[in-house]
Structure 1
Amino acid sequence: MSLPPEFWALPEASNSLTVDDKVLYIVETTQFCVFLLTMTIYLIIVWALIEAQNKKIDELNSPFFKLCLSTAGVDIWTLLTNYLGAMFPKWGWFPTVYLFLGNPYGKIYLYFAWCTGVCQAMGVSVLASNRLSVMLFPTSFHKMWMGYRLWIAIAIQYLTGLLIGLATFLNPVELFRNKNNGIVPKFLNKTMTNTFFAIGGVFLLINSIYLLCTYCYLFWVLRKRQKHMMPPAIRSRTKERARMRETRLFTMSTIIVGVQLCILTLFIFKGADILAFTTDQFYLVYNAVSDLYASINPYLLWVFSDSLRKYILQRLGFVKKTKNITSVTPMFVL
């Protein structure tokens, strides 16, 4: 396909990647396959949660699952931003569309890219706070997450990222063409870009410390309650169940905090110029980790939420429908 003259008028991007083209192709193809699979699974989960909320199904109508829907919106927004704003134009897909949109496309993409990163971090913290409230206020935590209070939590998740991301409009953006006849938007002011990385690193550090403290406390309280609140006879019968809950909580928190620490490490490497990461190298790794961060939640929900998994399988016809279970979502497990 012949490219319009406007494309060749774009400045050529300097290729600062040292990765072999075959390795890069394998990594990006794998990312794209995971993206397609994740979007399919996520849309099914969102559909099931919305339907369950409308039907007032007890197991899936708690504030926690409403927050999961809010987080799903951020994750889907992140994935679409990465591919519609970065990967597709980089691969040379739909060049006339991106050329028509011009520099405003680059500004909006970079704004969304930074917004979604903050919103993702805030979403994880809001969910962790929801689980923490179960421990601190076991008899009244439901009231804390009902009505306008729930909307405040969702607003914190979204507005924090949307407001912080406004700083990206202070940094001029220009479109470049790469060797694959693709389009790449880049910030022009490197000093301001490094400042963004420093601010983002501090924000992620504070958020990571909060998550570590929260999940360590949750894990400690869970073990303490299992030891002291049950009679010996009941304790012996529920020992295996308690171990499973502890394992699930530990696995879930390890994955969530681990991915966030990976992103924090990337920001530290970029901001402190450790390993001399170029901007292209940073974004290659960051986009992969960001995809992972946005993709893990549907799989965590599928693995750790028995009620959600059972409901979806019933609605898809893989499991026969049984009588409704009146119990609510376990306090300590997704």
Structure 2
Amino acid sequence: MEFRSLLAIISSLFVFATSTVNLLILAVILSRRRPFYHSCFFYVIYMVGIFIDLTSLVSSHLLALVPSKGIFIDVFLSSTTLGRIFLFFAWSTRACQGFTNFHIALNRVTAILSPFDHRKIWASTCVRGTCFLVQFGIGITIGVWAAKSDVYWSQTSHKSWYIQFVDTRSTHIFFRFVFGGISFLSTLTIVAYVVLLLHLRSQPVNSERHQRRGTRDGDMKNEQYMLHLAVCVCTLEILYYLMYSYAFVMNANFELDLETVYVWYFLVTDLYSGVPPFVLLIFSTPIREDVGRLLSRLLHRKRNTRTN
């Protein structure tokens, strides 16, 4: 078995595992067991992010990985429609994921800099609505732009088929616009990330202050978990941005091999979209406990079904 085929199998198994974990987390957050999942905007942001990550993973595997392996190739090559649908989801979800990570970082920064006003700020329907309106408005616009660009199906030296942009002036304008937008958003995320790191360095001092003020241990631990989670998510965003920068700079004139571009795309997308739910399980004790209860309930129900 060649390396590319092995990588595709591992990627598919990872996507199945992370999709299962994502669905379990969604079931937990959407349940009414813990009201703060809905009142705490951090978890609302994460829930929306899970939907976006699932869309990104499913679309990349069904609409890009499948034709690359020659599966249903006649259906895909009959027109560029399925390829355009893939480009819409690939580019729109990427933009939306960037906003998700920025919202997470911003949410934690306000919790640090303005702890007394933090909940009031993020409980505002206007603030929440504006966040999601900007996120999905820009994401969908970029996705539509990508889908309406000039594209064609290209076969690589490895006999794989991928959708490819036509090398035109409008394509370069699109690339520059998206790269500029992602650079700006990533810069804001990095600034928020630096604030979070500086806070982590001063954590022992802050902990003493909290104890003097009589802050509950449970609340303080929950804040620390969400802070560490935000740092991990922001780190993923920065790493993905570095990969994106390399791809844009190196592939500005379509110099990179298309096969290489897509192999890296599948790898980075799987990690970027698949790691967050596992990070959430590691750092969020309530989520971990509730997912454990849900799994126990499902396994118990399955045993009862077999017995009956």
TM over 0.5: yes
Match of 2:268 among 277, 289, 293: 289
Cα deviation for residue 69 of structure 1 reads: 1.0
Q: Which residue of 2 aligns with 1:332?
A: none
Q: Does structure 1 residue 135 correspond to structure 2 residue 112?
A: yes
TM-superposition CA deviations, 1:24-64 (whole Å, max 9, x none):
2222221111111111111111111111xxx2623423221
The 5 A counterparts of 1:121-270 are 121-146=98-123, 147-177=125-155, 183-224=161-202, 226-227=204-205, 230=208, 249=227, 253=231, 255-270=232-247
Q: Does structure 1 residue 107 correspond to structure 2 residue 84?
A: yes
Unmatched 5+ stretches in structure 1: 1-20, 319-334
CA distance in 1, matches of 2:102, 2:209: 34
Q: Does structure 1 residue 66 correspond to structure 2 residue 30?
A: no
Counterpart amino acid of residue 289 in structure 1: V
TM-superposition CA deviations, 1:143-198 (whole Å, max 9, x none):
22223432322222222111123322452122345677764222223544444333
**Cα gap change, 1:187 to 1:126, in 2 (>3 Å):** same
Q: What is the Cα-based RMSD across aligned positions, in Å? A: 3.4
Q: Which residue of 1 aligns with 2:27?
A: 47
Secondary structure of the residue that 1:174 maps to in structure 2? strand
Counterpart amino acid of residue 299 in structure 1: F
Counterpart amino acid of residue 101 in structure 2: V
CA distance in 1, matches of 2:43, 2:226: 17
Match of 1:280 among 256, 259, 263: 259
CA distance in 2, matches of 1:232, 1:121: 32
CA distance in 1, matches of 2:77, 2:162: 11
**Cα gap change, 1:233 to 1:105, in 2 (>3 Å):** closer
Secondary structure of the residue that 1:296 maps to in structure 2? helix
Q: Which residue of 1 aligns with 2:285?
A: 306
Q: Which moved more, 1:260-269 or 1:284-293?
A: 260-269
CA distance in 1, matches of 2:240, 2:206: 38
TM-superposition CA deviations, 1:44-102 (whole Å, max 9, x none):
11111111xxx2623423221111111111101100111111001111223354356x2
Cα deviation for residue 282 of structure 1 reads: 1.7
Counterpart amino acid of residue 90 in structure 1: S
| Count of paired positions | 291
Unmatched 5+ stretches in structure 2: 298-308
Q: Which moved more, 1:278-287 or 1:302-311?
A: 278-287
Counterpart amino acid of residue 315 in structure 1: L
Structure with greater helix percent: 2
**Cα gap change, 1:129 to 1:154, in 2 (>3 Å):** same
Match of 2:294 among 306, 312, 315: 315
Q: What is the TM-score when the length of structure 1 is the normalising length?
A: 0.75
Does the CA-based 8 Å contact 2:104-2:230 persist in structure 1?
A: no
CA distance in 1, matches of 2:202, 2:53: 34
Does the CA-based 8 Å contact 2:152-2:166 persist in structure 1?
A: yes
Q: Which residue of 1 aligns with 2:5?
A: 25
Counterpart amino acid of residue 165 in structure 1: G
Q: Does structure 1 residue 119 correspond to structure 2 residue 96?
A: yes
Counterpart amino acid of residue 49 in structure 1: I
Q: What is the TM-score when the length of structure 2 is the normalising length?
A: 0.80
CA distance in 2, matches of 1:148, 1:233: 34
CA distance in 2, matches of 1:232, 1:107: 53
TM-superposition CA deviations, 1:93-143 (whole Å, max 9, x none):
23354356x222222211221111111111110111111221232122222
Secondary structure of the residue that 1:57 maps to in structure 2? coil
